[in-house]
């Protein structure tokens, strides 16, 4: 079993674009998103599921435009989301009429898509590939918990599914000031015995730790920043504890997209943000711009996901977590 997979040549992230909801726009990173809702997160659509699809369509449209590419240049889109049968992606990206591979990694989907897009570009199978993902708070509440109208109560370890979509265009052709993916590590599903669907952070943290330990013990160097997807307060603290215990203290360099996206004091989001869109919009906005500006030089991004379904929870199964790793450097 391989741990670190070094790409034969770097895969450049030549553009990224982000679409966010109103709550996300009100948060600390709000100004860095390319587009945000002004119509209560409907994005002009009559169902939440269609709104989520529309976010993906807009994100990819903007990413293509920023890259100066017509649709006809993209050889493959990797896309996925949290909705049953990944339908937000299936419908949202239909109008591009492009080769399409659906992926499912729960909230780790942004990392999975970037990992696969980088792989096919680096190996020369594709010239340009796109990675797109999304989540929408209202469609996720309907899918996994209760429709918003039910007004269910939330406990302190609950995370808030981010309304957002991020799209990334990748190519092996070097482009000025574009950060590059240099190596990847594919996560393993880890069942740490958590069965509480209101504590995803605890379910995902052991998987993120498994990935990072495999990475460091296979010779991966410590980066400037270890950026996890959506562990939130609970999961981030568990991750740092496990890593310290295993001799790889990351507490000084760890950041989590789920912690960055909302203001803990001012926005009542409990344990932080989550969802495929959470890491996609943070990575696609402030992290990309900092890498481009060389304010950040070397990021190990671990997208984290909880691989359960509402039915698996009802049937009493535990919640396996997974963490996929993508190393992104500002200069290669």
Q: From CA 276, how far away is CA 64, in angstroms rounded?
A: 20
Residue 113's H or E segment, with its range, is helix 109-122
Least distance to a second copy, CB of residue 182, Å: 13
Burial of 151 (C-beta count, 10 Å sphere; 0-12/13-18/19+):
exposed
Considering only residues 167, 322, 326, 330, which one is a binding residue for a second copy as defined by CB under 8 A? 322
Among the residue ranges 9-17, 73-81, 192-200, 245-253, the one whose residues contact a second copy (CB under 8 A): 73-81
Here's the x/- map for a second copy, 233-272, by CB under 8 A: it reads as ----------------------------------------
Residue 98's H or E segment, with its range, is none
Considering only residues 26, 61, 195, 309, which one is a binding residue for a second copy as defined by CB under 8 A? 309
By the rule CB under 8 A, 120 interacts with a second copy: yes
By the rule CB under 8 A, 121 interacts with a second copy: no
- Pairing type for strands 76-81 and 160-161 reads unpaired
Q: Answer whether 273's CB lies under 8 Å from 232's CB.
A: yes
Of residues 44, 211, 238, 59, the one with CA closest to residue 134: 59
Considering only residues 55, 62, 76, 243, which one is a binding residue for a second copy as defined by CB under 8 A? 76
Angle, to 10 degrees, between the axis of helix 48-67 and the axis of helix 137-144?
A: 140
By the rule CB under 8 A, 97 interacts with a second copy: yes
Least distance to a second copy, CB of residue 98, Å: 6
Considering only residues 103, 242, 291, 330, which one is a binding residue for a second copy as defined by CB under 8 A? 103
Among the residue ranges 13-21, 99-107, 154-162, 233-241, the one whose residues contact a second copy (CB under 8 A): 99-107
Q: Which is nearer to a second copy, 232 or 303 (CB)?
A: 303
Of residues 201, 193, 306, 330, the one with CA closest to residue 256: 201
Buried b (16+ CB within 10 A) or exposed e, 167-193: bbbbbbeeeeebbbbbbbbbbeebebe
Here's the x/- map for a second copy, 37-56, by CB under 8 A: it reads as ----------x-xx------
Least distance to a second copy, CB of residue 75, Å: 4
Buried b (16+ CB within 10 A) or exposed e, 77-89: bbbbbbbeebbbb
Q: From CA 255, how far away is CA 154, in angstroms rounded?
A: 24
| Residue ranges that bind a second copy, judged by CB under 8 A | 1-2, 5, 7-8, 47, 49-50, 71-76, 80, 82-87, 90-91, 93-94, 97-106, 112, 115-116, 119-120, 122-127, 185-189, 191, 307-312, 315, 317, 320, 322, 324
């Amino acid at each position: 079993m391989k741990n670190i997979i070094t790409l034969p040549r770097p895969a450049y992230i030549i553009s990224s674009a982000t679409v966010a909801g109103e709550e996300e726009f009100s948060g600390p990173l709000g100004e860095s998103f390319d587009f945000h809702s002004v119509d209560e997160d409907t994005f002009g659509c009559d169902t939440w599921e269609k709104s989520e699809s529309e976010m993906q369509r807009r994100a990819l449209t903007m990413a293509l435009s920023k890259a100066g590419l017509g649709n006809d240049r993209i050889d493959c889109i990797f896309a996925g989301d949290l909705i049953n049968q990944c339908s937000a992606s299936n419908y949202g990206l239909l109008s591009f009429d492009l080769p399409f591979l659906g992926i499912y990694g729960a909230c780790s989907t942004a990392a999975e898509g970037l990992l696969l897009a980088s792989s096919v570009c680096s190996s020369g199978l594709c010239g340009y590939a796109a990675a797109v993902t999304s989540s929408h708070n209202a469609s996720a509440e309907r899918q996994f918990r209760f429709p918003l109208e039910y007004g269910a109560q939330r406990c302190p370890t609950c995370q808030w599914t981010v309304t957002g979509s991020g799209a990334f265009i990748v190519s092996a052709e070097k482009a000025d000031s574009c950060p590059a993916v240099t190596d990847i590590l594919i996560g393993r599903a880890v069942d740490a015995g958590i069965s509480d669907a209101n504590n995803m952070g605890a379910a995902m943290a052991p998987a993120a730790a498994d990935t990072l330990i495999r990475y460091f013990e296979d010779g991966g160097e410590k980066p400037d920043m270890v950026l996890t997807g959506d562990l939130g307060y609970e999961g981030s603290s568990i991750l740092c504890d496990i890593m310290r215990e295993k001799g790889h203290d990351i507490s000084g360099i760890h950041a989590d997209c789920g912690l960055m996206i909302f203001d803990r004091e001012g926005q009542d989001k409990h344990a932080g943000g989550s969802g495929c869109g959470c890491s996609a919009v943070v990575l696609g906005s402030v992290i990309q711009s900092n890498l481009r500006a060389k304010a950040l030089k070397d990021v190990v991004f671990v997208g984290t996901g909880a691989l359960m379904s509402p039915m698996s929870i009802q049937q009493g199964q535990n919640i396996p977590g997974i963490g996929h790793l993508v190393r992104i450097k500002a200069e290669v």
